Structure 1
Amino acid sequence: MPNFVNVEVTEGIAILVLTRAESANALSIQMLHEINNALERIQYDRSIRVVIVTGDGEKAFCAGADLKERKGMSEEEVRKTVALIGKTVDHFDTLSQPVIAAINGVAFGGGLELALACDIRMASNTAKIGLTETALGIIPGAGGTQRLPRLIGAGKAKELIYTARRLTADEAYAYGIVEHVVPSQQLIVEAKRLATEMANNAPLSLIQAKKAINQGMQTDIATALQIESLAYNHLLNTEDRLEGLRAFQEKRQPIYSGK
C-alpha cells in the first residue's frame, strides 16, 4: 500500500507533502489517517519548530474530499469520513508549532479548509482556491464557514461561499485569504525562507504566541488579555528567556534550545 504523506525535517523545519498527485491530493481515508499520524509525531518532536504543508506536483495543493471514494459509501460512512476530515483540519489548527500552507495548485473545498486552519498561507501565482461546496449540494463542513469569516469578514466570506466562486491567487490575496503570492518555482524556497525566519526565534515563544493569538481571537478583549498574560508567564522561567537576555546584552545571535 503506497504512502500518501511524506515528511522531511531539516534545521527545525518539517515539510509535510501530500503525495496523491494523480488524484489531485484529494483527502482519501488512508491519507487522512496518515496526516494525523504525521502531525501526532510532529506535535511532540521539540526539534521541529515550524511546519510547512504542501502538495506534490504543481497542479494541486489539495482538491478536498475524495469524491470518487465517497461514491461507494453509505450515509453512515460519509458522516464518519466528514468527521475525520474535520478532525484532520483541526489538527493543523491545534498543532503547537506554527504551520505555513504552501499552496502549490488548486485548493478547493476541504483543501482550502485545510489551508485556512494553518497560520500563514503562501500561494503559487498559478494556484486557484475556493470553498466550492454549495455547487455540490453541501456546505463547507471542516471549518470553512467559521474560519473564512474570521479571516476576511462575514460579508466577503458569505459571498464566496454562496457563489462557490473559484479565485486566482491574486484574487485570494486581494481578499486577504492568502498572505503571500510568489512565482510557482519559488514557492517552497520562499516558504522555507519564511519558516527559517520563524525558526530562528525561541520555539517556546512561538508555541505560546500561537496559543495566545488563536485562543484570544475567540473571546472578548478582557479575557484575551488574560490568556496573553498566562502565555507570557509560561515563558518567565525558561532557559530560552535567559538566553535571549544574555544574547541581547552580548550583542550576538541567541542559541535557543526549546527549554
Structure 2
Amino acid sequence: MIDLSYTVAAGVATITIVRPEVMNAFREQTMHELIEAFDRADADPQVGVVVLTGEGDRAFSTGGDVAWEDAFDPASGRHTARILIRLAEAIRGTGKPVIAKVRGWCVGGGNELVLLCDFALAAESARFAHTDSMLGNSPIWYGTQLLPKLVGTRRAKEILMLGDTVEAPEAARIGWINRAVPDAELDAVVAEWCERLLARSPQALRLTKISLDFDGDLTLPSVRHGFETLTHNYGTTEFHEGTTAFLERRAPKFRSESD
C-alpha cells in the first residue's frame, strides 16, 4: 500500500490515509487501497475493531483530490462512482465496529467517510465542512442521505448547501460525531473505546450494527441515481469553473454579471 498504512495491534486494525502533502485527499488508488484494507480487516479473525484516520494533525481527509477531479468527464465520473459504492460497502458491510479518529480538517468526501463509519471521535480543534457547492459538485455519496439522519434535514441543508465550517464541539453537540475531546486525549479516548468494544460479544455487535444500519442501507438507490445524475455534471462548464477556481485559489464565478 502506498496511499495508506495498515497496522494491527491488540485486536485493532488501524487504517491511515498517508497523503499529508494534499491533506489526505484521496484519489482512485487511495479508494482501491481502502477497499483492500477494510476487506483485509474484515477477514482477519484477530481484528475486532477498525480505526480509520489520516496522517498528521492538519487533516483527517479533505475528500477527493481536486486536481484529480478537475479532469473528470461523465465517463471517468461514472467509473469513480462504481468504486465509491464498493468502498462504502467495504466500510458499512464489515460487521466489525469502525471508528473514525479525526484530527484537523474533515471536508467533503472526508466527511462522507466519517458518516460511513460507526463512530466518530474528534480532537476539539478538528473542523468539519462540505465545500461541494463551491466546487460545482454535490455530496451524494451518502452525505445527502446520512447526514440528515444525524443532524436533521434543515441543519443538513445549511451544512451541505452553504458550506460553513463546523467546529468539532458543535459537531458533537448536534450529533454529527460522537465526541469532541481535548487534542492530547484523542488517542487515549479512541483506545478506550476500542478496548470497551473488544470486550463485547462480536456476534452481538455484528447483529446490532446490521440492524441499526438497515434504514441507511435503503438509501443505496439514492446514491446510485445521484451518481448517474452527477456524472453528467462533470462535463459542464460550471463544474470545471469550481475545480479550476479552487486550484487557482480564487472565488468561483458561477454566474455571469448579467445574471
Q: State the TM-score, normalized to the length of structure 1.
A: 0.79
Cα pair 2:132 2:138 within 8 Å, conserved? yes
> Aligned residues, how many?
218
* Aligned equivalents of 2:168, 2:185: Cα separation in 1: 14
* Aligned equivalents of 1:80, 1:196: Cα separation in 2: 39
Structure 2 residue runs of 5 or longer lacking an equivalent are 219-259
Shift of 1:218: 6.4
Shift of 1:185: 2.5
1:45 aligns with 2:54: no
Q: Which moved more, 1:40-49 or 1:111-120?
A: 40-49
* Aligned equivalents of 1:213, 1:202: Cα separation in 2: 16
- AA aligned to 2:31 is L
Shift of 1:134: 1.3
SS in structure 2 at match of 1:7: strand
Q: How does 1:27-176 map to 2 (within 5 A)?
A: 27-176=26-175
* Aligned equivalents of 2:215, 2:137: Cα separation in 1: 31
* Aligned equivalents of 2:82, 2:102: Cα separation in 1: 23
Deviations 1:28-58 (A, max 9, x none): 1111110001111111112211111110000
Cα pair 1:90 1:117 within 8 Å, conserved? no
* Aligned equivalents of 1:196, 1:117: Cα separation in 2: 21
* Aligned equivalents of 2:105, 2:24: Cα separation in 1: 10
Shift of 1:70: 2.0
Shift of 1:9: 1.0
Q: Which moved more, 1:43-52 or 1:182-191?
A: 182-191
SS in structure 2 at match of 1:52: strand
Cα pair 1:132 1:166 within 8 Å, conserved? no
Deviations 1:100-135 (A, max 9, x none): 100111111000000011111111111111222112
Deviations 1:129-163 (A, max 9, x none): 12221121121021100000111211211121121
- AA aligned to 1:5 is L
* Aligned equivalents of 2:35, 2:217: Cα separation in 1: 24
Q: State the TM-score, normalized to the length of structure 2.
A: 0.79
* Aligned equivalents of 1:38, 1:51: Cα separation in 2: 10
Deviations 1:182-226 (A, max 9, x none): 12232122111101101111111111111121126668xxxxxxx
Instruction: Give the fraction of aligned pairs with identical amino acids, expressed as a percent.
Output: 29
Structure 1 residue runs of 5 or longer lacking an equivalent are 220-259
Aligned Cα root-mean-square deviation (Å)? 1.7
* Aligned equivalents of 1:88, 1:104: Cα separation in 2: 22
Cα pair 1:86 1:143 within 8 Å, conserved? no
- Quick check: which has more Rg, 1 or 2? 1
Cα pair 2:59 2:103 within 8 Å, conserved? yes
* Aligned equivalents of 1:186, 1:36: Cα separation in 2: 29
Cα pair 1:89 1:113 within 8 Å, conserved? no
1:202 aligns with 2:201: yes
